[in-house]
Amino acid sequence: MTQDKVDVQAALQQLKISFVDKIPAKITEIQQAWLTLKKDPENAEIKQLFHRLTHTLAGTAATFKLDELAECAREIENTIQCFSTNPCEPLTITEISSLLVSLEETASNTNISPVSIDEKTEEDTAESTNKSIATASHDTAKNNLVYLVDDDEDFNHTIKMQIKTFGYQVESFTSLTKFNEALKKQEPAVVIMDVMFGNSKTAGIDYIAQLNQSRTVPLQTIFITGSHDILTRLSAVRANGFAYFTKPAMMTSLVTALDKLSFKVEESPYNILIVDDSVTKSKHAALTLQQAGMNTKEVNDPLLLLNALAEFTPDLILMDIYMPHCTGLELSQVIRQMESYVSTPIVFLSSEDDLGKKLGALSLGGDDFLTKPVKPWHLVSAVSSRALRARLVRRLAETDGLTGLLNHSKSKACLKNELARAKRENTPLSFAMIDLDFFKHVNDHYGHPAGDSVLKSIANLFKQRLRTYDIVGRYGGEEFIIILPNTDLSTAKKIVDVIRTRFSKLVHYCEQEDFRCTFSCGIASYPEFRNEKTISEEADKALYQAKEAGRNKVVCAKSVS
C-alpha cells in the first residue's frame, strides 16, 4: 500500500471519528425539529428540515457502514412521508416518537470500527485509473518511428514514401526475421503489419500475438491485408490490433490511425466539483476520488455554486439532492441554463431509492444517479467514465476533423486565456500565424485529396516539433496558429524556422507527380503587444510582409514604441 493511500485511509478514519462524535448533537437537532413539527404539523419549512436532517444522517451513517444507525434514520425518513400526508394521525405520531427513541439508543451503542474499504477493488480501480492517465500523459510524439512489415517490396516502397510525407520516420521489412532483429535494437511507436506471409493467411497476426505474450505492454500494431473475413478480424483483435485495413488502404485513414497511436493527448486529472451541504459526506467523496488521482473542490453551500464553477471549471459535478436553500434538482436546472455548462455531466449522489424521483432527477438535467451508500470503487468508476466521455465530446467540438488541431473558436479562446496567464505570471508569450504558400494551386493542380494530405502533414509536424504545452490550431482553410507560452520573440522565430525548413523538404505524393510545399509566418509577442486583438493583428501584418518578401519566410512584428 502506498504512503498516499495510507494517508487517505487515516483521513477517512479521522472523518468517521469526527462524524460519530457529532451524532448526539445531530439527534438532538432531529428531536427538536420533531417537537416543533408536532406542535405545528402544517409548517412546511420544519417538515423539510426534519426530512433533510434524517436523510443526511441516514446517508452519512451508511457511508461509514454504521448500518443499524443508517437503517433507523432511514425508517424515520420514510415514516415522515406518511406524517406529511396525515399529520394528525395518532399512529404515525407514536411511531415516529418510538423510532426517535430507538435512534438515540442505537447511537449510544455505536462503536468506531476502522473505516472499511474494499481494499483490493479500490486499489485495483485507483491503479487502473492512474495507469490510464499515465498512458495518456506519456509523450510518444517524439518517437515517430514506424516499422512497416510486408513481403511485397513494391507495396512497402509505395506506402513508405507516402507515410514519410506526414512527418513519420519509416523503416520497412520484407521478412518477419529482419523485423524481429530491428525490434531488439529499437522499438517503434507503431508497427504496420501485413497479415499474410508465405502460405500462412494469418502469419503476421500470429507473430504479433506471440511477441505480445512476453511483453508487459503490447506492441501498438495496425494490421493490413487483403482479407475481409470476420475470423481474420477477430484474430487481429485478439492480438491487440489497434486497427485493421484491407488493401488498397486509404492513406488518409491509415495516417489517422497512426496519429491516434503516435500523438497521445496529455490528459490532466479530472476536476470533480462536489456539491453537498454535509461537510462529512463531501469530504468522504473527495478523499475517495483524490485517492484515484482526481482533483476535487467541495461546495457545502449550494448558493455559492456559481463562484466555484467559474474558478474550478469541472469535468463533472457530483451533487446531493436534498440541501438547504435549494434542492439539487433546482440547482441542476440553474446549471443547464448556463451555456458554458450545458454539457457538463451532473451525477446525483443521494440515498433516495424512489424510482420515480430518480427518473425525475435525470429528466431535469442529471446524467446519472448513484444511491448511497456507494462503494468507493463504484464511485470512482462512475465518475471517471462519465468525465472521460464528457472530455471526448468536448474535444470533438473543439477540434478540426481533418487535422485534429484546435478549431478557430477554440484557438481564439486559448489565446485569450494564455495571454491572461502571461500577464498574471509576468512571462513572455509568442503568437505565430502561418499560411501555406500557393495552396490553391495545390488543390487545383493535384486535387483536394493531395491538399488534405498536405494539411495533415504540417499538422503532424507541429505535433512532433512543438512542446506538449504549446497550442496549435487550424485557423482557416490553409491557415494555422501557434501559441508559445513562456517564449520570447527571438526564440519563437528559431522554433518556427526549424519547422518551416523541415516542412519545405517534405515530398508529397499524388498520382500525377511528386511536389513540395512551403509556408509563410508572422510572429508577434507579449509584452510588446498586450491583448489578443493587437497581438493577432500584428502577427497577421507580419505574415503579410513574409508573403510580400517572397514567401517561405518568418517575419517578426516590431513594437512601434
Q: Which amino acid is at 449?
A: P
Choice among 77, 478, 528, 532 that is catalytic: 478
Give 272-336 as a 3 state SS string: EEEECCCHHHHHHHHHHHHHCCCEEEEECCHHHHHHHHHHHCCCEEEECCCCCCCCHHHHHHHHH
Asked if 42 is an active-site residue, the reply is no
- Give the CA angle between residues 166, 189, 486 to the nearest 5°: 70
Closest CA to 379 of 301, 498, 281, 445: 281
Cα 515 to Cα 506: distance, rounded to the nearest angstrom: 9
Cα 455 to Cα 439: distance, rounded to the nearest angstrom: 10
How far from chain centre, in Å, is Cα 89?
Answer: 53
Cα 248 to Cα 426: distance, rounded to the nearest angstrom: 54
Cα 39 to Cα 34: distance, rounded to the nearest angstrom: 9
DSSP state of 400: -
- Give the CA angle between residues 260, 262, 268 to the nearest 5°: 75
Cα 198 to Cα 522: distance, rounded to the nearest angstrom: 54
In this structure, are strands 479-485 and 429-436 parallel, antiparallel, or unpaired?
Answer: antiparallel
For the four alpha carbons of 207, 213, 219 and 221, in that order, the dihedral sign comes to positive
Neighbours of 475 (CB within 10 A): 21
Instruction: Retrieve residue 367's grid coordinates.
Output: 446524467
Owner of C-alpha cell 510582409: 545
First to last CA, the chain: 60
CB 498 within 8 A of CB 527: no
Catalytic residues: 478
